[in-house]
Structure 1
Amino acid sequence: MKDRTEEHRERLEAHVFVCTNDRDGEYASCGAVGAEETVAAVKDWLRERDAFWTAVSVSETDCLGLCSDDGTAISIQPRNTWYSDVTPETVPELLESEFGPDAAAVRGEN
Protein backbone atom coordinates (compact mmCIF):
# COMPACT_ATOMS: atom_id res chain seq x y z
CA MET A 1 0.00 0.00 0.00
CA LYS A 2 1.25 3.47 -0.89
CA ASP A 3 -0.05 6.66 0.74
CA ARG A 4 -0.43 9.26 -2.03
CA THR A 5 -2.47 11.79 -0.07
CA GLU A 6 -0.04 14.71 -0.31
CA GLU A 7 0.59 14.13 -4.02
CA HIS A 8 -3.15 14.17 -4.68
CA ARG A 9 -3.75 17.24 -2.50
CA GLU A 10 -1.07 19.20 -4.32
CA ARG A 11 -2.58 18.43 -7.72
CA LEU A 12 -6.33 18.63 -7.14
CA GLU A 13 -8.39 21.58 -6.01
CA ALA A 14 -11.75 19.83 -6.07
CA HIS A 15 -13.50 16.55 -6.70
CA VAL A 16 -16.95 16.51 -8.30
CA PHE A 17 -19.12 13.54 -7.35
CA VAL A 18 -22.10 12.91 -9.63
CA CYS A 19 -24.79 10.49 -8.49
CA THR A 20 -25.54 7.86 -11.11
CA ASN A 21 -27.54 5.61 -8.81
CA ASP A 22 -30.31 3.79 -10.65
CA ARG A 23 -32.84 1.74 -8.76
CA ASP A 24 -36.24 0.21 -9.32
CA GLY A 25 -38.91 1.48 -7.03
CA GLU A 26 -41.36 4.21 -6.32
CA TYR A 27 -38.75 6.89 -5.59
CA ALA A 28 -36.78 8.94 -8.08
CA SER A 29 -33.18 8.08 -8.84
CA CYS A 30 -30.50 10.13 -10.54
CA GLY A 31 -29.69 7.33 -12.97
CA ALA A 32 -33.22 7.44 -14.32
CA VAL A 33 -33.21 11.21 -14.95
CA GLY A 34 -30.12 11.70 -17.09
CA ALA A 35 -27.18 11.16 -14.77
CA GLU A 36 -24.91 9.80 -17.53
CA GLU A 37 -25.53 12.88 -19.66
CA THR A 38 -24.86 15.11 -16.64
CA VAL A 39 -21.54 13.35 -15.96
CA ALA A 40 -20.58 13.89 -19.61
CA ALA A 41 -21.53 17.58 -19.41
CA VAL A 42 -19.38 18.05 -16.28
CA LYS A 43 -16.38 16.37 -17.91
CA ASP A 44 -16.83 18.28 -21.16
CA TRP A 45 -17.04 21.64 -19.38
CA LEU A 46 -13.84 20.91 -17.43
CA ARG A 47 -12.01 19.54 -20.49
CA GLU A 48 -12.84 22.68 -22.48
CA ARG A 49 -11.09 24.68 -19.75
CA ASP A 50 -8.17 22.28 -19.31
CA ALA A 51 -9.19 21.59 -15.72
CA PHE A 52 -10.34 17.95 -15.97
CA TRP A 53 -7.99 15.70 -14.00
CA THR A 54 -5.44 18.49 -13.70
CA ALA A 55 -7.24 20.51 -11.05
CA VAL A 56 -10.66 18.89 -10.77
CA SER A 57 -11.47 15.21 -10.80
CA VAL A 58 -14.89 13.74 -11.48
CA SER A 59 -16.33 10.50 -10.13
CA GLU A 60 -19.63 8.75 -10.48
CA THR A 61 -21.09 7.71 -7.14
CA ASP A 62 -24.06 5.95 -5.66
CA CYS A 63 -26.85 7.81 -3.92
CA LEU A 64 -26.01 11.17 -2.39
CA GLY A 65 -29.44 11.35 -0.78
CA LEU A 66 -30.72 14.19 -2.97
CA CYS A 67 -32.41 12.30 -5.82
CA SER A 68 -35.44 13.86 -7.48
CA ASP A 69 -37.43 13.61 -10.68
CA ASP A 70 -35.94 16.94 -11.80
CA GLY A 71 -32.26 16.03 -12.21
CA THR A 72 -29.08 14.60 -10.79
CA ALA A 73 -27.37 15.17 -7.43
CA ILE A 74 -23.81 16.55 -7.33
CA SER A 75 -21.40 17.15 -4.47
CA ILE A 76 -18.17 19.13 -4.79
CA GLN A 77 -15.50 18.32 -2.22
CA PRO A 78 -13.66 19.52 -0.19
CA ARG A 79 -15.89 22.58 -0.67
CA ASN A 80 -18.74 20.64 0.95
CA THR A 81 -21.25 21.96 -1.59
CA TRP A 82 -24.27 19.89 -2.57
CA TYR A 83 -26.69 20.35 -5.46
CA SER A 84 -29.83 18.57 -6.59
CA ASP A 85 -31.87 18.82 -9.78
CA VAL A 86 -28.77 19.27 -11.95
CA THR A 87 -29.29 18.69 -15.66
CA PRO A 88 -26.79 18.79 -18.52
CA GLU A 89 -28.20 22.22 -19.39
CA THR A 90 -27.53 23.62 -15.89
CA VAL A 91 -24.00 22.19 -15.56
CA PRO A 92 -22.26 25.26 -17.10
CA GLU A 93 -23.99 27.64 -14.69
CA LEU A 94 -23.19 25.43 -11.68
CA LEU A 95 -19.53 24.91 -12.56
CA GLU A 96 -19.02 28.55 -13.49
CA SER A 97 -20.40 29.58 -10.10
CA GLU A 98 -18.03 27.14 -8.37
CA PHE A 99 -14.85 27.50 -10.46
CA GLY A 100 -15.21 30.71 -12.48
CA PRO A 101 -15.98 31.04 -16.20
CA ASP A 102 -12.67 29.57 -17.41
CA ALA A 103 -11.91 27.49 -14.29
CA ALA A 104 -8.78 29.63 -13.94
CA ALA A 105 -9.09 29.70 -10.16
CA VAL A 106 -8.82 25.92 -9.87
CA ARG A 107 -5.90 25.85 -12.27
CA GLY A 108 -4.00 28.29 -10.04
CA GLU A 109 -4.11 31.18 -12.50
CA ASN A 110 -5.77 33.70 -10.17
Structure 2
Amino acid sequence: MKDRTDQQRERLEAFVFVCTNERDSEYACCGDVGADETLAAIKDWLRERNAFWSPVGVSTTGCLGLCSEGGTAITIQPEDVWYSDITPEEVPDLLAEAFGPDADRIATTRSTP
Protein backbone atom coordinates (compact mmCIF):
# COMPACT_ATOMS: atom_id res chain seq x y z
CA MET A 1 0.00 0.00 0.00
CA LYS A 2 1.25 3.49 -0.89
CA ASP A 3 -0.06 6.63 0.76
CA ARG A 4 -0.16 9.25 -1.99
CA THR A 5 -2.06 11.91 -0.10
CA ASP A 6 0.71 14.52 -0.24
CA GLN A 7 1.29 13.93 -3.95
CA GLN A 8 -2.37 14.48 -4.77
CA ARG A 9 -2.66 17.54 -2.51
CA GLU A 10 0.22 19.12 -4.40
CA ARG A 11 -1.31 18.30 -7.79
CA LEU A 12 -5.00 18.92 -7.22
CA GLU A 13 -6.74 22.00 -5.89
CA ALA A 14 -10.27 20.67 -6.33
CA PHE A 15 -12.17 17.63 -7.48
CA VAL A 16 -15.51 17.56 -9.29
CA PHE A 17 -17.54 14.39 -8.78
CA VAL A 18 -20.36 13.77 -11.25
CA CYS A 19 -23.10 11.27 -10.46
CA THR A 20 -23.59 8.85 -13.34
CA ASN A 21 -25.65 6.39 -11.34
CA GLU A 22 -28.03 4.18 -13.30
CA ARG A 23 -30.68 1.97 -11.79
CA ASP A 24 -33.65 -0.01 -12.92
CA SER A 25 -36.31 1.84 -10.99
CA GLU A 26 -39.34 4.02 -11.35
CA TYR A 27 -37.37 6.86 -9.75
CA ALA A 28 -35.17 9.29 -11.64
CA CYS A 29 -31.42 8.82 -11.65
CA CYS A 30 -28.61 10.95 -13.01
CA GLY A 31 -27.58 8.35 -15.57
CA ASP A 32 -30.96 8.76 -17.26
CA VAL A 33 -31.03 12.57 -17.32
CA GLY A 34 -27.85 13.58 -19.13
CA ALA A 35 -25.03 12.67 -16.75
CA ASP A 36 -22.65 11.72 -19.57
CA GLU A 37 -23.29 14.99 -21.38
CA THR A 38 -22.85 16.98 -18.16
CA LEU A 39 -19.59 15.16 -17.46
CA ALA A 40 -18.34 15.96 -20.98
CA ALA A 41 -19.30 19.63 -20.57
CA ILE A 42 -17.35 19.84 -17.30
CA LYS A 43 -14.25 18.27 -18.83
CA ASP A 44 -14.49 20.49 -21.92
CA TRP A 45 -14.84 23.68 -19.84
CA LEU A 46 -11.79 22.77 -17.76
CA ARG A 47 -9.73 21.68 -20.79
CA GLU A 48 -10.44 24.99 -22.53
CA ARG A 49 -8.88 26.73 -19.49
CA ASN A 50 -5.99 24.28 -19.11
CA ALA A 51 -7.32 23.20 -15.70
CA PHE A 52 -8.34 19.60 -16.38
CA TRP A 53 -6.63 17.09 -14.05
CA SER A 54 -4.13 19.60 -12.83
CA PRO A 55 -5.36 21.44 -10.82
CA VAL A 56 -8.94 20.11 -11.07
CA GLY A 57 -9.72 16.42 -11.13
CA VAL A 58 -12.99 15.10 -12.48
CA SER A 59 -14.48 11.72 -11.76
CA THR A 60 -17.74 9.87 -11.98
CA THR A 61 -19.40 8.60 -8.86
CA GLY A 62 -22.38 6.56 -7.80
CA CYS A 63 -25.45 8.13 -6.27
CA LEU A 64 -24.90 11.38 -4.40
CA GLY A 65 -28.43 11.25 -3.03
CA LEU A 66 -29.63 14.21 -5.10
CA CYS A 67 -31.16 12.46 -8.12
CA SER A 68 -34.06 14.14 -9.88
CA GLU A 69 -35.64 14.35 -13.28
CA GLY A 70 -34.20 17.85 -13.73
CA GLY A 71 -30.56 16.96 -14.30
CA THR A 72 -27.36 15.60 -12.87
CA ALA A 73 -25.97 15.85 -9.34
CA ILE A 74 -22.38 17.01 -8.78
CA THR A 75 -20.20 17.97 -5.86
CA ILE A 76 -17.03 20.04 -5.80
CA GLN A 77 -14.53 19.06 -3.14
CA PRO A 78 -12.87 20.14 -0.88
CA GLU A 79 -15.14 23.17 -1.15
CA ASP A 80 -17.99 20.93 0.05
CA VAL A 81 -20.56 22.36 -2.38
CA TRP A 82 -23.33 20.16 -3.78
CA TYR A 83 -25.60 20.75 -6.78
CA SER A 84 -28.54 18.94 -8.27
CA ASP A 85 -30.50 19.38 -11.49
CA ILE A 86 -27.41 20.41 -13.49
CA THR A 87 -27.73 20.33 -17.26
CA PRO A 88 -24.81 20.56 -19.70
CA GLU A 89 -25.94 24.07 -20.65
CA GLU A 90 -25.56 25.23 -17.03
CA VAL A 91 -22.01 23.91 -16.59
CA PRO A 92 -20.16 27.03 -17.85
CA ASP A 93 -21.97 29.34 -15.44
CA LEU A 94 -21.63 26.93 -12.54
CA LEU A 95 -17.90 26.39 -13.02
CA ALA A 96 -17.27 30.08 -13.69
CA GLU A 97 -18.96 30.84 -10.38
CA ALA A 98 -16.94 28.15 -8.59
CA PHE A 99 -13.53 28.75 -10.17
CA GLY A 100 -13.69 32.10 -11.98
CA PRO A 101 -14.48 32.59 -15.67
CA ASP A 102 -10.94 31.62 -16.69
CA ALA A 103 -10.48 29.11 -13.84
CA ASP A 104 -8.18 31.67 -12.25
CA ARG A 105 -9.62 31.28 -8.74
CA ILE A 106 -8.96 27.57 -8.39
CA ALA A 107 -6.01 27.89 -6.03
CA THR A 108 -7.82 30.44 -3.87
CA THR A 109 -10.97 28.35 -3.37
CA ARG A 110 -9.23 25.47 -1.64
CA SER A 111 -10.04 25.04 2.02
CA THR A 112 -7.09 24.56 4.30
CA PRO A 113 -6.84 21.10 5.83
Normalised by the length of structure 1, the TM-score is: 0.95
- Note the residue ranges of structure 2 that are not aligned, 5 or more in a row: 109-113
Q: Which amino acid aligns with 1:29?
A: C
8 Å Cα contact 1:67/1:73 also seen in 2: yes
User: What is the deviation of 1:50?
Assistant: 0.3
Higher share in helix: 2
- Which secondary structure does the structure 1 equivalent of 2:21 belong to? coil
Residue by residue, what CA displacement relative to the aligned partner does 1:69-100 show, whole Å, maximum 9, x if unpaired?
A: 00000000110000000000000011000000
- Note the residue ranges of structure 1 that are not aligned, 5 or more in a row: none
Aligned twin of 1:42: 42
Percentage identity across paired residues of the two chains: 69
Q: Which amino acid aligns with 1:18?
A: V
1:56 aligns with 2:59: no
Normalised by the length of structure 2, the TM-score is: 0.92
Question: What is the root-mean-square deviation of aligned Cα atoms in Å?
Answer: 1.0
**Within-5 A mapping of 1:54-93:** 54-93=54-93
Moved over 4 A (4+): none
**Counterparts of 2:72 and 2:18 in 1: how far apart (Å)?**
7
1:22 aligns with 2:22: yes
- Which secondary structure does the structure 2 equivalent of 1:89 belong to? helix
